[in-house]
Chain A
Amino acid sequence: MPFYVSPEQSMKDKADYARKGIARGRSAVVLQYDGGILFVADNISRTLHKISELYDRIAFAAVGRYNEFENLRQMGVRMADVRGYAYDRSDVSGRVLANVYAQTLGTVFSESNKPWEVEIVVAEVGEDPADDQIYRITFDGSVVDEQGFLAMGGSAEQVTTALKDRFDSDASLGDALNAAVHALRQENGEERTLDSSGLEVAVLERARREHRKFRRITGDRLSALIDGGGAGAAESAASDSAGTQSGSGSADGQNGS
């Protein structure tokens, strides 16, 4: 027998449900650094990614339920590739992808019983830092155009607060990464240990590559960046890795172009 639930109550229940689902997972942060945009996720899996390439200058990061955001990721890749093929590579923009994600999540939230427990970011690296776009899309389909940095997932508030203290859009990759790791350690209000094996890290590099700007940072280069921290160590690690990237032979290494 059906019973009456007011729309307000129904929406509130769905929102609470989605928030709880998202809060159970680990966090991810996205922030600008002097060479582009850095993505760091607290993720022990080497193969089930929270951060991925969508298109030449555009990447995706997500927290929440894996099957749901993986679905969204694949949809974004398809849409970007179809658009780029039909028009031109330069006609694929982060804004369009963010809008489609917002529409999709908004529809799911209002029309189905179970909202998706995901929060995602679509980021596009521009010609210069002022052109960078970082969009956060939440489970109900709202879009926020973020400036500089953001944290999402588990204890987003604590992580955001910690990140705010150390964020500097002109920081080197090493410094930005250490700020991100420091922030992710604040999860659940306690200082956690977090080393390179539990991190998924990727960048959209503004200058380095011709067309595909996305690159994962793994293995030795990641450890060196985290341990070194300072600009000098970061630079030498960066140039070192550029030469050996294809030699590493891992599937991750080939993600860049």
Chain B
Amino acid sequence: MSEAFDGGGQLPAAFMNPGTSSFSEFLGAVAPDLLPTGRDLPQGATASHLTPEATTIVALTFPDGVVLAGDRRATSGNVIANRDMDKLYRTDEFSAMAIAGAAGIGIELAKLFQVELEHYEKMEGRSLSLVGKANRLATMIRGNLPMALQGFVVLPLLVGYDQDRGQGRIFSYDPVGGRYEEHDFHSIGSGSVYARGALKKLFATDLGEEDAAVVAIQALYDAADDDSATGGPDLHRRIYPLVDVITSEGHRRMSEEDVARLATAVVEERAERPDGPRAPLR
């Protein structure tokens, strides 16, 4: 491994150079082998079966901030690779991201992005703006394009509380690093079409934090209902969706008891009415 971080002796000159506050740029200079992106794969190889796929993520804003929720299932073909996966990553005090697509690469990317934000904050003495964070993530996704073309597509969803504007915001991405701001709600992953339908019906601009979490759980339930790669609340194994909430107070993961209570209530309602809450026709 590179001696860049062995700490046995003096460090390479790059450590002392003034310049970048970006961790990934710095890592690219001193230890590029540690970066998740930019690996050369054999031409024409399709290796996407090597890593499980992570699936449905939903996010919605509410007056105090933003809610991000994810199911727990990772699949490898028609096999459930993992039942209690955590696809949500707290990236700093006021932002979080979630991943869909190639799990192995996505987890590495999330870890890199976490360090990227923290590194900038320590080097500069202040945090990036939320849009700055979103753009930074876009650059990192763009770096993954060669891998995406070989089947390792990673798509993140970034949510955060914008302290300047005093509101929660949602950013989605495409595989070439395109960044799109989403309004009110969004969903990514294989079950996202079903989740988005549910979000569209249930979203309101005046939801409280807990109600916003219920909307997210309902949407995940619908995704799991119709998409085999998305896991619903597993009451027997006590595996529930994960819900992160970001407000002006910062990032907080909703406690397992709270999510269990909300998810159990959703499942019980579905026993009465399998298709979920009805919206009035007119």
> Which 8 residue pairs spanning A and B have beta carbons closest together?
A251-B126, A82-B5, A96-B7, A83-B5, A75-B15, A77-B122, A103-B10, A246-B250
> CB-CB < 8 A to A246: which residues of B?
93-94, 248-250
Q: Check A74/B123 contact, CB under 8 A, given A85-B111, A86-B1, A246-B249.
A: yes
> CB-CB < 8 A to B9: which residues of A?
103
Contact check, A100 vs B7: say whether CB atoms are below 8 A apart.
yes
14 residue pairs of the A-B complex, CB under 8 angstroms, read A49-B125, A52-B122, A54-B122, A79-B15, A81-B118, A85-B111, A86-B1, A86-B5, A86-B34, A96-B7, A246-B93, A254-B93, A254-B121, A255-B121
> CB-CB < 8 A to B163: which residues of A?
249
Cα(A145)–Cα(B73), bound, Å: 49
Choose among B7, B23, B30, B125 the residue with the greatest number of A CB atoms under 10 Å from its CB.
Answer: B7
> CB-CB < 8 A to A107: which residues of B?
10
> CB-CB < 8 A to B26: which residues of A?
78, 82
- Shortest beta-carbon distance from B23 to chain A in Å: 6
Query: Counting CB contacts under 8 A, is B136 at the interface?
Result: no
Contact check, A71 vs B18: say whether CB atoms are below 8 A apart.
yes
> CB-CB < 8 A to B10: which residues of A?
100, 103-104, 107
Query: Counting CB contacts under 8 A, is B31 at the interface?
Result: yes
Contact check, B15 vs A254: say whether CB atoms are below 8 A apart.
no
Query: Counting CB contacts under 8 A, is A158 at the interface?
Result: no
> CB-CB < 8 A to B125: which residues of A?
47, 49, 52, 251, 255
* Complex interface residues of chain B between 104 and 154 (CB less than 8 A to chain A): 111-112, 115, 118-119, 121-123, 125-127
- Shortest beta-carbon distance from B130 to chain A in Å: 13
* Complex interface residues of chain B between 1 and 58 (CB less than 8 A to chain A): 1, 4-5, 7, 9-11, 15-16, 18, 23, 26-27, 30-31, 34
Give the residue name and chain of the A residue nearest to B108 (CB): A85
- Shortest beta-carbon distance from A179 to chain B in Å: 28
Interchain CB contact (< 8 A) of B119 among A49, A81, A251: A81
Cα(A25)–Cα(B87), bound, Å: 49
Cα(A103)–Cα(B12), bound, Å: 12
Contact check, A254 vs B126: say whether CB atoms are below 8 A apart.
yes
> CB-CB < 8 A to B11: which residues of A?
75, 79, 100, 104
- Shortest beta-carbon distance from A190 to chain B in Å: 33
Contact check, A86 vs B31: say whether CB atoms are below 8 A apart.
yes
Cα(A45)–Cα(B23), bound, Å: 27
Interface residues on B, range: 20 to 34
Give the residue name and chain of the B residue nearest to A84 (CB): B115
Contact check, B123 vs A77: say whether CB atoms are below 8 A apart.
yes
Query: Counting CB contacts under 8 A, is A197 at the interface?
Result: no
Contact check, A79 vs B5: say whether CB atoms are below 8 A apart.
yes
Choose among B1, B93, B122, B125 the residue with the greatest number of A CB atoms under 10 Å from its CB.
Answer: B122
Query: Counting CB contacts under 8 A, is A7 at the interface?
Result: no
Contact check, B122 vs A82: say whether CB atoms are below 8 A apart.
no
Contact check, B126 vs A85: say whether CB atoms are below 8 A apart.
no
Digitize A229-257: 1 where CB-to-B-CB distance is under 8 Å, 0 elsewhere: 00000000000000000110101001101
Cα(A107)–Cα(B10), bound, Å: 8
What 18 new A-B contacts, CB under 8 Å, besides A83-B7, A254-B127? A71-B16, A77-B122, A79-B11, A79-B15, A81-B118, A81-B122, A82-B26, A86-B1, A86-B5, A86-B31, A100-B7, A100-B11, A103-B9, A107-B10, A246-B248, A254-B121, A255-B125, A257-B92
Query: Counting CB contacts under 8 A, is A53 at the interface?
Result: yes
> CB-CB < 8 A to A251: which residues of B?
125-127
> CB-CB < 8 A to A97: which residues of B?
7
Q: Check A85/B34 contact, CB under 8 A, given A47-B125, A74-B123, A257-B93.
A: yes
Interchain CB contact (< 8 A) of A247 among B23, B115, B121, B248: B248
* Complex interface residues of chain A between 150 and 189 (CB less than 8 A to chain B): none
> CB-CB < 8 A to A83: which residues of B?
5, 7
Cα(A16)–Cα(B139), bound, Å: 49
Cα(A96)–Cα(B123), bound, Å: 20
Contact check, A82 vs B18: say whether CB atoms are below 8 A apart.
no
